[in-house]
Amino acid sequence: MSEVICEECRVGRYQPMTIPYMHWLGRQMLTFPNAPALVCDVCKHVHYDARFLHSMDYVLDRLAQTSSRRSVSHPHTLRDEQTGWQSPRR
């Protein structure tokens, strides 16, 4: 049983769990289904594991860099000359 009292409600106690971690990267939502966290058993306040967040920052920074390089290296979009339709994807 956890002895750490919740910082939010000051009643509950944090319990170790794995819960989903979601992050928007541009217009896409990335979901990591089993993120380690501490969750209050009363108000459900969440503290994600610091090591996990640090590794996610690294991964998300790398994805953002790769995404920005991709958009710069492929500036042309698909376009149908007859109808004028243009693909939103690159």
Band of residue 28 on the pLDDT scale cut at 50, 70, 90 = confident
**Cβ–Cβ < 8 Å for 32, 56:** yes
Mean per-residue pLDDT, 34-59: 94
**Higher pLDDT pick, 73 / 50:** 50
Q: What fold does the segment set 1-52 form as a domain?
A: Ubiquitin-like (UB roll) (3.10.20)
pLDDT exceeding 90 applies to what percent of the chain? Answer: 49
Task: Indicate the Cα dihedral angle 16, 19, 23, 29, nearest 10°.
Answer: 170
Domain-wise residue ranges, the chain: 1-52
Residue scoring higher pLDDT (71 or 63): 63
